[in-house]
Amino acid sequence: MDYTYRFPGFRFKALTFSYDDGVAADMRLVEILQKNGLRGTFNVNAGLFAEKEGEFRLTAEQVRDLYLPAGMELACHGYTHPHLERLPQAYAAGEILEDRRALEALVGVPVSGFAYPYGTYNDAVVAMLQMAGMHYARTVVSTESFEMPGDWLRLPATCHHANPRLAELGQRFLSLGKGVDPMRQTLQMFYVWGHSYEFDNAKNWSVIEDFAAMMAGQEDIWYATNREICGYMEAVSRLETGPDGRICYNPSAQDVCFLAGGKAYTVHGGETLVLD
């Protein structure tokens, strides 16, 4: 029996954003995303907080009051934004752990996502992130595809927001699934990354304003943070079944949706489900 997994609400598409450095321009970007019902992740260096408001970066208090209350995710980006692979390993590990410790102390929730400073890393850095309890880490690789990642600690994006094909990719994503048998629709994710100050530098805030408006309000898209999507896929991977797939146990706390045998099922957290 084939399982065809779905995101919450039986959607097969997810849209997410990832923006780096915790800068003041994030305030405008968060407003744009929130206005359009979109959600994303903001990767912050706790060792580089501004001392007072009005500077290039946000203060600790601004970080606390901006992202989570707006439904966004706060994630790590290295305490002082170093090239982690160039540092002695104990120093690099400290950069990861101190950033997580400081951000969690600031907002009072687990902070278990990461974006590589400068997009650079090596296998030792990946191992450090695993030991630090990070669930995913975003690279700066852009695939221009919507395939789900195979390695969440080497997470690529679909594209940077400056990609001249951003709107074209958006239209392609919106058209996915039209006229296709639902049982043949695999999970798809559109992942956009960048730095919000780039819109100030290029004087082109209309790029993200227009894209957000185009992508908003779609019933077949799950608008989620990086961690929400990663966490959902972790729950999918933990499902336990018998040899014929007709008994399904969900050991996680996250409900999981899937199609099997032409029927739609939701297996709730902690539930054992017997398929028809």
β-pairing, 13-20 with 221-223? parallel
Exposed e or buried b for every residue in 86-98, given b needs 16+ CB within 10 A?
Answer: ebeeeebbebbbb
pLDDT per residue over 203-255, tens digit each?
A: 999 999 999 999 999 999 999 999 999 999 999 999 999 999 999 999 999 99
CA distance 190 to 159: 8
Position 55 pLDDT exceeds 80: yes
Instruction: Answer whether residue 190 is part of any domain.
Output: yes
13-20/40-44 β-pairing: parallel
For residues 197 and 116, give the distance between their C-alpha atoms in angstroms, rounded to a whole number.
Answer: 18
Q: What is the pTM of this model?
A: 0.96
Give residue for tokens 């203060």.
Answer: 59
Residues 258-267 have a mean pLDDT of 94
**Residue 121, domain member (yes or no):** yes
Residue 223 lies in a domain: yes
Separation in Å, CA 41 to CA 30, 193, 201: 10, 9, 21
247 in a structural domain: no
Percentage above 70 pLDDT, the chain: 99
pLDDT at 143: 98
Task: Give a yes or no: residue 239 inside a domain.
Answer: no
Q: How confident is the model at residue 2 (pLDDT cuts 50, 70, 90)?
A: confident
Q: What does the mean pLDDT of the chain come to?
A: 97
pLDDT per position as a tens digit, 172-197? 999 998 877 776 789 999 999 999 99
Residues constituting the chain: 276
Count of the separate structural domains present in the chain: 1
Q: Examine residue 258 and state whether it is found in any structural domain, yes or no.
A: no
Domain contains 253 = no
Per-residue pLDDT, 119: 98
Q: Is residue 1 pLDDT above 80, yes or no?
A: no
Predicted pLDDT of residue 11? 96
**CA dist., res. 72 & res. 242, Å (int):** 38
Rounded to an integer, the average pLDDT of 90-100 is: 98
Residue ranges making up the domain that contains 158: 11-230
Q: Per-residue pLDDT averaged across 54-81, rounded?
A: 98
Does residue 92 form part of some domain? yes
pLDDT at 179: 75
The enclosing domain of 144 has a CATH number of: 3.20.20.370
Q: CA 76, 79, 83, 84: dihedral to nearest 10 degrees?
A: -80
